A and B are shown apart, each in its own frame.
Chain A
Amino acid sequence: MDFQVRREHRLLIQMYRAFAQNEVRPLAKEVDEQERFPLETVRKMARFGFMGIPFPKEYGGQGGDNLAYILAVEEISKVCGTTGVILSAHTSLCAAPIFEFGSEAQKQAYLPALAKGEKLGAFALTEPNAGTDAAGQQCTAELQGDHYLLNGTKIFITNAQFADIYLVFAMTDKAKGTRGISAFIVEKGMAGFRIGKKEEKMGIRGSATCELIFENVNVPVANLLGREGGGFGLAMKTLDGGRIGIAAQALGLAQGAIDETLAYSKERKQFGKSIASFQNSQFQLADMQTRTDAARLLVYRAAALKDAKQPYSVEAAMAKLFASETAMDVTTKAVQLHGGYGYTREYPVERMMRDAKITEIYEGTSEVQRMVISAHLLR
C-alpha cells in the first residue's frame, strides 16, 4: 500500500497544530471538569474549515481528502479528546453518509450547512437493548402516506442537544430483521423529538452524550437516506469510516500523552537527576512512541485507502483496534511516569487516560474489531 503525507498535508498539520495549541488546549481542562460542551470552539473550527474537510466545495466542503480530515482529528485530540470526538462524529457519522448515500436533493438540502459548520451532525444507532448487537433495533418507523411515523429511544448519542441534524436508524419492517432497518435524516425541532437523560461520563466529559426520544415524529419520506431496508448496511459502512476518525482520536491522545511526558520527565528531578535520565523512563518512552508510530501508520493507511476508493473496512478495524489499545496503554504509562502528580488534575495525563478508554468502546468495541478482522481472515 502506497501512501504519502503530501506537502499540503504538512502545511495543514502546521495550521491544525497552531489552532489546537492556541484555541483548543487552553479550554481542555475546564471542558472536562465542568462537563462543558465547547460550542465556541466548534464555531471557530467552522470558520477555518474544519467541519467539512473531505467534502467537495460545491457542497460547502473544503475540497480536501480523508487523510487531511484524519490529521485534524489527530492534532485536536492531542490536546482535547472531547473536541476530537465532536469533530469526528459530525464529519464521519453524519455529513459523510449524507454525502456518500444521499440523493442529490438531500445533499443539496443538508450537506452545505453541515460542511460549513453552520449545523452540527449526530448519529443515532445505539439503543438500550441494541449496542454491539445493533441489529436488535426497537425504534420503529411506519410509513403513513408522505411520511414515516418514528417512535422509540436512542441512547449514548454524541453531540446530542447541540446537534441540528441526526441520522436515526429504525425498523421499517420488523419481519425482515436487519433488512428491515432504514436510515432517516431527522432535524432538531421536529415535533415529538426531544432530548432525554444526559450521561455522566468517565472521560470525553465535554462531549454531550444523551438519550434521544421520539414520540410520533413525522419524518417526511424525502428524509429516508438510502433505500428502505438499506439502513443496516448503511450504518455498517458509515461506521467503517467513523472508525478511522476514532482511531485518529486515539492516536492523538497517545501522542499528546507522550508529548506531555517528554516535557515532564526532563523537568522532574529525583535522586538529583531528571527522571528522563533513568533507563526505565527512556525505555518506556521508546516503547510508547514506537507503538504510537505503528498506530499512526495503520490509521493513515486506512484513510489513504478510503481516499483511493479501495476497500478499507478491515484496515479501519485494525487501525481502530490498535490505536485505541495503544492510547490506553500509552496514557496509562504516561500517568505512571508522572508519578503522583500524574494522578492529580494538575497535569493533563490523567484526563487523557480517562478519555482514551472510550476509544476501545464506541463505534464498535475492541471485541467487535477483532470479529471484523478475524471474519475477514477466516473467510
Chain B
Amino acid sequence: MNIVVCIKQVPDTTEVRIDPATGTLIREGVPSIINPDDKAGLEAALALKGAVGATVTALSMGPPQAEIALREALAMGADHAVLISDKRFGGADTWATSITLASALRRLGFDLILCGRQAIDGDTAQVGPQIAEHLGIPQVSYVSEIQKVGDRLQVKRMFENGYQRLSVPMPCLLTVLKEMNAPRYMNVGGVFDAFRAEIPVWTVDDLDVDRAQIGLKGSPTRVKKSYTKGTKSAGKVYEVEPQEGARIIVEHLREKFII
C-alpha cells in the first residue's frame, strides 16, 4: 500500500502574535512546525505501516526551509519525502495549492492520501477535499480512526455530536483530526538518517500542471482585508442552580438593553 501524507509547515500559532496595524501574523522568530492535523496523519500512516505494511511518503509544498518538516517526517519513520518548491508556486491560495499537490500526487502514485483537516495558519480545510476532487477519488473528511479491512478502509468520521462508520474503497483521500492519536517521537538515529537522506525538490518543470492555475496568478482568492477581532470582556462564571442562572442571564440582558 502506498500512502502519501500531505504535510504543511506552519508557524507555531501558540507562539504567534498578530501585528495590530496590518492584521497579519508576525512570523519573525516564531518556530515552524508540522501542522498538527498533518502530524496525526503521519502517525496514522506509520501505524498502518506497522500493522499491515505500507510505504509512507511525506509530500509538502513550501519554501526551501519546509525541508525541515520533511526531515522530521523521515525521522519519525516515513520512507520517502518530496518537496515541491519553486518561486512560481508562491502566493498560492487553496485552489492553486490543491491543483499543484494533485499533480504531484499523480506523479507519485498512491493508494491512500492523508491530509490534515485544516492548517492552523490558513485554516480553510479546503485543500484536502479539493485534491480529492481534482483526482476524482472518494474522500472522507474529519476522520478519527482508520483500519484496513480486506482491500477497503473502515473509517470513523466525526461530527460535533456523533460519528459515522464508513467503508471506503481505495484509492481514496482522508482528512484527519489531530485528536485521533499521539504522534510518536522522532528517533535519535532516525534524525541522523533523515539528514543523510536525499529529498527530491520538484519545480514547475517536474510537474504536469497548467501554468495558468499555479501560484499567485492562478489563485482566484483575493484577500480584501484581514483584521484582528476585538477581544470581548472577560467572561464571568456563576456556579448556581439553573433557576438562579436564568435570572442572572435575564438581568444582564436587560442591563445591556438587549431585551
Determine if A8 and B191 form an interchain contact, defined as CB atoms under 8 angstroms apart.
Answer: yes
**Known contacts A7-B68, A48-B185, A48-B187; is-contact A15 B75 (Cβ 8 Å):** yes
Answer whether residue A57 sits at the interface, using C-beta atoms and an 8 A cutoff: yes
Answer whether residue A53 sits at the interface, using C-beta atoms and an 8 A cutoff: yes
Answer whether residue B242 sits at the interface, using C-beta atoms and an 8 A cutoff: no
Determine if A62 and B189 form an interchain contact, defined as CB atoms under 8 angstroms apart.
Answer: yes
Answer whether residue B186 sits at the interface, using C-beta atoms and an 8 A cutoff: yes
Answer whether residue A220 sits at the interface, using C-beta atoms and an 8 A cutoff: no
Partner of A57, one of B75, B186, B189, B194: B189
For window 41-89 of A, CB contacts with B under 8 Å fall at 48-50, 53, 57, 61-64, 68, 72
Residues in chain B near residue A18, CB distance under 8 A: 185
Residues in chain B near residue A15, CB distance under 8 A: 75, 185-186, 188, 191
For window 184-206 of B, CB contacts with A under 8 Å fall at 185-195
Determine if B189 and A7 form an interchain contact, defined as CB atoms under 8 angstroms apart.
Answer: no
Determine if B195 and A49 form an interchain contact, defined as CB atoms under 8 angstroms apart.
Answer: no
CB distance from A98 to the nearest CB of B (A): 19
- Number of A residues, CB within 8 Å of B: 19
CB distance from B195 to the nearest CB of A (A): 4
Answer whether residue A162 sits at the interface, using C-beta atoms and an 8 A cutoff: no
CB distance from A351 to the nearest CB of B (A): 25
Determine if A19 and B71 form an interchain contact, defined as CB atoms under 8 angstroms apart.
Answer: no
Residues in chain A near residue B189, CB distance under 8 A: 49, 57, 61-64
Partner of B68, one of A11, A62, A64: A11
Residues in chain A near residue B191, CB distance under 8 A: 8, 11-12, 15, 64
A-B pairs with beta carbons under 8 Å apart, 25 shown: A7-B71, A11-B194, A12-B186, A12-B188, A15-B185, A15-B186, A15-B191, A18-B185, A19-B185, A48-B185, A48-B187, A49-B187, A49-B189, A53-B188, A57-B189, A61-B189, A62-B187, A62-B188, A62-B192, A63-B189, A63-B192, A63-B193, A64-B189, A68-B188, A68-B192
A12-B191, A61-B189 given; 19 more Cβ-contact pairs under 8 Å: A7-B195, A8-B192, A8-B194, A11-B71, A11-B75, A11-B186, A11-B191, A12-B186, A12-B188, A15-B75, A15-B191, A19-B185, A48-B185, A48-B186, A49-B187, A50-B188, A64-B188, A68-B188, A72-B188
- Inter-chain CA distance A90–B75, complex, in Å, is 24
Per-residue interface assignment for chain B, residues 144 to 163, with 1 indicating a CB less than 8 Å from any chain A CB and 0 otherwise: 00000000000000000000
Per-residue interface assignment for chain B, residues 59 to 94, with 1 indicating a CB less than 8 Å from any chain A CB and 0 otherwise: 000000000100110010000000000000000000
Residues in chain A near residue B193, CB distance under 8 A: 63
Residues in chain A near residue B68, CB distance under 8 A: 7, 11
- Inter-chain CA distance A50–B187, complex, in Å, is 8
Count: A-B pairs, CB below 8 Å: 53
Q: Which 8 A-B pairs have the closest CB atoms?
A: A49-B188, A62-B189, A15-B186, A62-B188, A8-B195, A49-B187, A48-B185, A63-B192
Closest chain A residue, CB of each to CB of B184: A48
- Inter-chain CA distance A61–B189, complex, in Å, is 8
Residues in chain A near residue B71, CB distance under 8 A: 7, 11
Per-residue interface assignment for chain B, residues 110 to 136, with 1 indicating a CB less than 8 Å from any chain A CB and 0 otherwise: 000000000000000000000000000
Residues in chain B near residue A68, CB distance under 8 A: 188, 192
Residues in chain A near residue B190, CB distance under 8 A: 49
CB distance from B210 to the nearest CB of A (A): 35
- Inter-chain CA distance A12–B194, complex, in Å, is 11
CB distance from A9 to the nearest CB of B (A): 9
Determine if B72 and A48 form an interchain contact, defined as CB atoms under 8 angstroms apart.
Answer: no
Closest chain A residue, CB of each to CB of B182: A22
Residues in chain B near residue A62, CB distance under 8 A: 187-189, 192
Residues in chain A near residue B72, CB distance under 8 A: 11, 14
The residue among B72, B186, B187 with the most chain A CB atoms within 10 A of its own CB is B186
For window 1-37 of A, CB contacts with B under 8 Å fall at 7-8, 11-12, 14-15, 18-19
